[in-house]
Amino acid sequence: MLELGTCYYPEQWPEGIWTDDACQMVRLGLKWVRIAEFSWVLVEPEEGKFNWGWLDRAVNVLGQAGLEVVMCTPTAAPPRWLIDKHPEILPVNEDGVIRKFGARRHYCFSSPVYLEYVTGIAEAFAQRYGQNPYIKAWQIDNEYGDHDTIHSYSPAAQAAFCAWLQRRYDSIGKLNEAWGTCFWGMQYSTFSQIELPNNLVEEPSPTHLLDYYRFSSDQVVKFNRAQVDTLRKYVGTTPVTHNFMGHNTDYDHYAVGVDIDFASWDSYPMGALVNSPKEDTEKASLLRVGLPDQPAFNHDLYRHVGQGKAWVMEQQPGPVNWAMHNQSPQDGMIRLWTWLAYAHGIDVVCYFRWRQLKFAQEQFHTGLLLPNSEPDQAFLEIAQVVKECKLLPEAGERQKAQVALVLDYPSRWAAHTLPQGSDYCSAKAAMDWYATLSRLGADVDIIGPHADFSNYKLIILPDIIIDNPGLASRLSEATAKVFLGPRSGSKTEHMHVSEPLPPGSFKELIDLDVVRVESLPPYNQDQIFFEGKQGKVTNWRESIKTSEEILGHFKSDYRDGHPALVANQKCVYAAAHVDGSLLEKVAAHLVKWSEVELHEGLQEGLRITRRGQLKFAFNFTNETKCLKLPEAAIIYVGAEQIPSFGVVIWSDSPVG
Ligand code: GAL
């Protein structure tokens, strides 16, 4: 059953109120409390001098009240004394400017000195609390990538990058070949000559840049693994996690996921809406509900990252402080988001934060309590969720969906190294596909290229740019039908044009050659005709030669009538990006063609999904929606008339 929790900072409140806070959390129905992720200097105010007393007492107070504690390693906030002693651990931004102390995440992943301190403090925490009966989970660090901190251009990163390249290529000749350094006379004679790809006169070789992105990702994995390995020596079977920042794709989340016991992510739908690349009119209509599919996409992604196990470690409780604008969610949305998380396979939802703070950077950020300790809106909605939990039978785990969408981190980086069009946005393409399929009533898993493809009926690859012969043959062996978007397999692992031509080894799935690509501005007029529908090309168009069946063609003053959508029994290839109603048409074609079963009863602004035998419908609109449920349906929460921002939970037959 769904479990709930909160993020608490005992160090920010007088000790005299900790017990009341803890008891109130328990009375509310919370089970989990996460603490200490920024507590380093409070625990170790001077190097080697520890002050555990306050944290010991906080853990006791929380535990004795009946809460289970998620203890964090505090490595997202290195203390001032450490910066004074080792200023070289600070990160350096792309302009070569040192990022200073005074906020958080002021460290470079490549600093060997910092790594030593990190494993030291992780060990000290683990020794102290590894066997503490109240600590039932561990979180490492906090949100890798927050505040653009994956890429650092420090001397430490420079040295580590050279060593990484040496391991990857072994000989400088191989690197020169891979990077294409005969172009512009960029040849190197030793690894030590190679610099980081910032502050160059022109753009770097795409391979140089992609290798730097790969290297940076590996540094995060190494940093995380060092802490996991340290904790494991002391914490026994207590599970370890990291709280991922949804939408940061600067490192490979799957690779970090392999080393932890479950994934967790931080869900802030209001900020995600405001910061998204959507049109202002769409954002206006969703201002206080957010993009309906954005949290769901991430739940489905992190369930995969966590190999089936995922939490929301931070759930937005009301207005936050950090987005371009910080609007309030509608009353009811905290409850809706909580049930949405559960429906998508999330086991625990923790709200950030317990009480709104009166000082420092996040004083505009709401909590479950107002700064004067009165309950705020989220508190009331959580109380309702707690009551509703008691009405539900056990749902079990979320089952595999029939549709999978493949998200490949290196392909995201590849797009960045050679964007070709300034508004090319891989994240938007993935989200558009996910949202379109969800609106049609399909459950969708987000998976990596190495995932198990068995039992999927349809696999969508919106833009797997890096050619991958292993992936191509696993796809052709799978029983699923496949959709390949433009740019698929267009570059080798070294960012060369794939052979004989794109889509490289994906030619195993469909016979075509991409002979020309164009990026198009938003004011382009090129259209695609498909099944009586026409829609605009959005930013990417390819000219292809093919022997396959042509499902749709371009309509434009350039190469009019050329193939835009082609297919055989196994695969559909799109030679352009599309969105809006044409994407809907293509998606509807794909689900029908691959016989995907859809949830029935969908209407504008409604989403329906399933976890085990329970079904959930969510109303993201400000009007009541009526959903006709089967005669035999057993309704546990809500009713067929779903009020605005409301939820109904039912099973089609008795849950056995
Ligand atoms: C998260 C972060 C938290 C807090 C929160 C505010 O990104 O992990 O520490 O800053 O944002 O919304």
Mean pLDDT, 10 residues at a time, over the chain (656 residues)? 97 98 98 98 98 98 98 98 98 98 98 98 98 98 97 98 98 98 98 98 97 98 98 98 95 98 98 92 96 98 98 98 96 98 98 97 98 98 98 94 98 95 89 97 98 98 96 98 98 97 98 97 95 92 98 98 98 94 96 97 95 97 96 96 98 88
pTM attached to this predicted model:
0.98
Closest residue by CA, ligand 1 atom 10 = 362
Query: Does residue 408 have its Cβ closer than 6 Å to ligand 1?
Result: no
Atom of ligand 1 nearest to the CA of 146: 7
Closest residue by CA, ligand 1 atom 9 = 142
Query: Does residue 268 have its Cβ closer than 6 Å to ligand 1?
Result: yes
On whether the CB atoms of residues 645 and 651 are closer than 8 A, the answer is: no
Distance from residue 11's CA to the centre of ligand 1 (Å): 17
Query: Does residue 352 have its Cβ closer than 6 Å to ligand 1?
Result: yes
Q: What is the per-residue pLDDT for 133?
A: 98
Distance from residue 8's CA to the centre of ligand 1 (Å): 12
Give the Cα separation of 98 and 90 in Å (integer): 7
Q: What is the per-residue pLDDT for 579?
A: 86
User: Exposed/middle/buried for 122, CB within 10 Å: 0-12, 13-18, 19+?
Assistant: buried
Residue 379 parent element (H or E): helix 377-389
Closest residue by CA, ligand 1 atom 6 = 320
Residue 270 parent element (H or E): helix 269-274
**Radius of gyration, CA atoms only, the chain:** 26
Q: What is the per-residue pLDDT for 464?
A: 96
Q: What counts of helices (H) and strands (E) characterise the chain?
A: 18, 26
Query: Does residue 146 have its Cβ closer than 6 Å to ligand 1?
Result: yes
Residue to mutate, 362, 363, 368, ligand 1, most ligand atoms under 8 Å from C-beta: 362
Residue to mutate, 264, 265, 266, 365, ligand 1, most ligand atoms under 8 Å from C-beta: 266
User: Exposed/middle/buried for 153, CB within 10 Å: 0-12, 13-18, 19+?
Assistant: buried
Give the Cα separation of 653 and 656 in Å (integer): 9
Query: Does residue 8 have its Cβ closer than 6 Å to ligand 1?
Result: no
Distance from residue 105's CA to the centre of ligand 1 (Å): 12
Q: What is the DSSP pairing of strand 458-461 with strand 403-406?
A: parallel
Token representation of residue 345? 């396979």
486: alpha, beta or left? (left if phi > 0; alpha if psi -120 to 50):
beta
Q: Which residue from 404, 288, 276, 301 is spatially nearest to 337, judged by alpha carbons?
A: 288
Query: Does residue 107 have its Cβ closer than 6 Å to ligand 1?
Result: no
Distance from residue 85's CA to the centre of ligand 1 (Å): 28
Query: Does residue 142 have its Cβ closer than 6 Å to ligand 1?
Result: yes
Residue to mutate, 38, 105, 143, ligand 1, most ligand atoms under 8 Å from C-beta: 143
How far apart, in Å, are the Cα atoms of 580 and each of 230, 268, 282?
Answer: 49, 25, 12
Q: Is 204 helix (H, G, I), strand (E, B) or coil?
A: coil
Distance from residue 491's CA to the centre of ligand 1 (Å): 36
Closest residue by CA, ligand 1 atom 5 = 352
Q: What is the per-residue pLDDT for 247?
A: 87
Taken as a whole, the chain contains a residue count of: 656
**Residues 177-181: contacts with CB within 8 Å, 24+ apart?**
178/207, 178/494, 179/205, 179/207, 179/208, 179/211, 179/494, 180/205, 180/207, 180/496, 181/205
Q: Which residues face 138 on adjacent strands?
A: 71, 240
Closest residue by CA, ligand 1 atom 2 = 143
Query: Does residue 141 have its Cβ closer than 6 Å to ligand 1?
Result: no
Distance from residue 316's CA to the centre of ligand 1 (Å): 9
Name the CA dihedral angle for 256, 257, 260, 261, rounded to a multiple of 10 degrees. 180
Q: Which residue from 433, 470, 465 is spatially nearest to 450, judged by alpha carbons?
A: 470
Query: Does residue 266 have its Cβ closer than 6 Å to ligand 1?
Result: yes
Distance from residue 506's CA to the centre of ligand 1 (Å): 41
Q: Is 319 helix (H, G, I), strand (E, B) or coil?
A: coil
Q: What is the per-residue pLDDT for 655?
A: 86
Q: What is the DSSP pairing of strand 549-555 with strand 533-546?
A: unpaired
Give the Cα separation of 529 and 536 in Å (integer): 9
Query: Does residue 265 have its Cβ closer than 6 Å to ligand 1?
Result: no
List, by residue number, the catalytic residues.
143, 314
How far apart, in Å, are the Cα atoms of 74 and each of 13, 41, 146, 429, 579?
Answer: 18, 9, 15, 36, 43
Q: Which residues face 571 on adjacent strands?
A: 482
Atom of ligand 1 nearest to the CA of 243: 8
Atom of ligand 1 nearest to the CA of 143: 8
Distance from residue 83's CA to the centre of ligand 1 (Å): 23
Distance from residue 96's CA to the centre of ligand 1 (Å): 26
On whether the CB atoms of residues 32 and 4 are closer than 8 A, the answer is: yes
Q: What is the per-residue pLDDT for 656?
A: 74
Query: Does residue 320 have its Cβ closer than 6 Å to ligand 1?
Result: yes
Give the Cα separation of 519 and 418 in Å (integer): 12
Question: For residue 318, which phi and psi values (nearest 5 degrees)?
Answer: 175, -155
Give the Cα separation of 337 and 288 in Å (integer): 12
293: alpha, beta or left? (left if phi > 0; alpha if psi -120 to 50):
alpha
On whether the CB atoms of residues 332 and 288 are closer than 8 A, the answer is: no
Query: Does residue 144 have its Cβ closer than 6 Å to ligand 1?
Result: no
